[in-house]
Amino acid sequence: MTTDGRIEIGIVDARGEKFGFIRRYEGDVVESFAWGGAARQILFIQMNPVAQRYQIFSLDPETTLAPKALPVHDMLRHYTDIAYSPDGKKIVFSCQKRMALMK
């Protein structure tokens, strides 16, 4: 976590930081991550300021490209946790239904 309270996503070599450490992203991130293994991506949940709800994002650990929101989101849900299936072909997530906005 940064000094201003933002969560960081970092990648550390399993042998320790001296073998490799990369700060990959920082933001309003929920502390829940899923490593895709064969899918070569990390999934995490973050507040989307445009949609004003928590969505699932992916980032490629091998690049410096910005994370991307996954295209499959229910507009009435806040996503809270995520995991890959053992074969990396499916994801499972938990979410909360939010109340419809009043006009």
Q: Is 85 a domain residue?
A: yes
Q: Is 90 a domain residue?
A: yes
Q: Is 13 a domain residue?
A: no
Q: How many domains does the chain have?
A: 1
- Which position has the token pair 């980032």? 59
Q: Is 73 a domain residue?
A: yes
* Single pTM value for the model: 0.79
Predicted confidence (pLDDT) per residue in 49-97, tens digit: 887 888 999 998 888 888 998 887 777 788 889 998 888 888 888 888 8
Q: Is 1 a domain residue?
A: no
Q: Give residue 66's domain range.
A: 28-97
Can you say whether the dihedral through the CA atoms of 7, 10, 63, 74 is positive or negative? negative
Q: Is 19 a domain residue?
A: no
The encoded tokens of residue 50 equal: 């445009």
Q: Is 22 a domain residue?
A: no
